[in-house]
Structure 1
Amino acid sequence: MAKEIPDLVAEARTGTGKGAARQARREGNVPGIVYGDGKDPVAVQFEFNKLLTQLRAGRFMSTLWNLKIEGQEDVRVICRAVQKDVVKDLPTHIDFMRLRRTSKVKVFIQVEFVGHDECPGLRKGGTLVTIRPEIELIVTAGDIPEQITVDLTGLEVGDGIHIDDVKLPAGAKATVDRNFAIANIAAPSALRAEDDAAEDEAETEEADAPEGENAETEE
């Protein structure tokens, strides 16, 4: 299911260059640029606190936004870069790319695991080890999914989940062309400790064995 396209409000910014950008910051705004789709770049600015709240909410760069600028037609955009102050880690500039709904775009989509109660491996004390909490997909801009769902139902200890095991949203494709791992069900820590102890004991017994005990007898 495609996510609802949220609004992102900006103001047109007069002037370009470092001087205009510094002026925008002094006025409590974050300067930015909108480019792409064969059109001229447009300088914009965002109210600092509102933008910071949206950035901290997560998934900002994987969200298709409906950019609203007073006096201009709404346009679909996706964030392509956020420059930050190296000391304060706060946004100082932001770049957006225009998209059509039919445009193909690479985005990172969060993985959501379901079926925990129906997973025998977890009921036996196993642990879900997440290898890829997000997966980069090539998707249509108008159909960016909310998440990728991975069902744990029926998985035992030692089982793994790979990208080929997952039903991706219609029209979506992983950017990596191989069957990479997403997660696995690891053995309970107590069981792993017992296995490690058994291996150590076997190694000790082998080391303590009389010399030549395991050697072949020559005739």
Structure 2
Amino acid sequence: MSEVKITAEARNDFGKGAARRVRRNNQVPVVLYGHGSDPVHLNLPGHELLLALRTPNVLLNLDIAGRSELAIPKAIQRDPLRGSLIHVDLLVVKRGETVTVEIPVETEGELAAGGNLLEHVLNALPVEAEATHIPQSLTVSVAGLTAGDAITAKDITLPKGVSLAVDADAVVIQVLAAQAEEPAAEGDASAEA
């Protein structure tokens, strides 16, 4: 789990025009909410936030006028063409608090011979973890799996303090049989000659 410290400034102007001015100054409009408190509107440095959000479920330590708040990203809006950040919603968390997040699932190893296909039914596994100890990813071995085999959520080894937030029998990864090409009909072969 990585923790990134970012200095935030309060935002008092609202609306489309104000948000565009904020983005022109290389900042991102952000809303911080949670724990029953009123939403707080902030501006965060765009480049620093973009680098921090490259890590899944990053823990942000926000410095807001000398006051420190821990937050995790809840919703991220990006420009569809440029990929730049448009708006981010952050959820306030406390140390020791359990949160529900989705952890990316990565695979390692080679499938058994036969040209079978590996299908990720769930690219990310919903889990409950302590807010300051969220794993960055879960690695699953697919070595030796054959067509028809599946890995369910209960088959994945979770780090200490992490529990499933999805049905234990939910399929995460499955192996599909390769589709064989149909042989060409005799009439088609003579027409090609």
Give the TM-score taking structure 1 as reference length. 0.68
Count of equivalent residues: 182
After superposition, give the CA deviation of every residue in 1:79-127 in whole Å (9 maximum; x if it has no partner): 122344577664332221211122121211111212x15x5x2x34333
What's the counterpart of residue 202 of structure 1? none
CA distance in 2, matches of 1:21, 1:91: 12
Q: For the aligned residues, what is the CA RMSD?
A: 2.9
Give the equivalent residue in structure 1 for 2:169.
Answer: 179
Name 1:125's counterpart in structure 2.
115
Tell me the secondary structure at the aligned position of residue 96 of structure 2. coil
Query: Which residue matches 2:40?
Result: 42
- Structure 1 Cα separation of the partners of residues 136 and 24 of structure 2: 36
C-alpha distance in 2 between matches for 1:166 and 1:14? 43
CA distance in 1, matches of 2:19, 2:10: 9
**Are 1:24 and 2:22 an aligned pair?**
yes
Determine the C-alpha separation between the residues in 1 that align with 2:172 and 2:95. 29
Residues 14 and 184 (structure 1 numbering): CA distance in 2 closer, same or farther, change over 3 Å? Answer: closer
* 1:53 to partner: Cα distance: 4.2
Choose 1 or 2 for highest CA Rg: 1
The reply to whether residue 12 of structure 1 matches residue 6 of structure 2 is: no
Please, which runs of 5 or more residues in structure 1 have no aligned partner?
A: 198-219
Deviations 1:118-177 (A, max 9, x none): x5x2x3433322221211112221221121221224433321111121122223233222
Partner residue in 1 for 2:145:
155
Which one of 73, 78, 82 corresponds to residue 79 of structure 1?
Answer: 73
5+ unaligned residues in a row in structure 2: which ranges?
184-193
Q: Find the aligned partners of 1:152 and 1:25 in 2 and give their Cα distance.
A: 44
Q: Is the 8 Å Cα contact of residues 9 and 44 (structure 2) preserved in structure 1?
A: no
Aligned counterparts of 1:112 and 1:85: Cα–Cα separation in 2: 27
**Between structures 1 and 2, the one with greater strand share:** 2
Instruction: Give the CA deviation at 1:179.
Output: 0.7
1:135-154 equivalence runs, <5 A: 135-154=125-144
Q: 1:7–1:68: 8 Å Cα contact kept in structure 2?
A: no
* TM-score computed with the length of structure 2 as normaliser: 0.75
Higher helix share: 1
Shift of 1:73: 3.5
What does residue range 103-122 of structure 1 map to in structure 2 within 5 Å? 103-114=97-108, 116-117=109-110, 119=111, 121=112
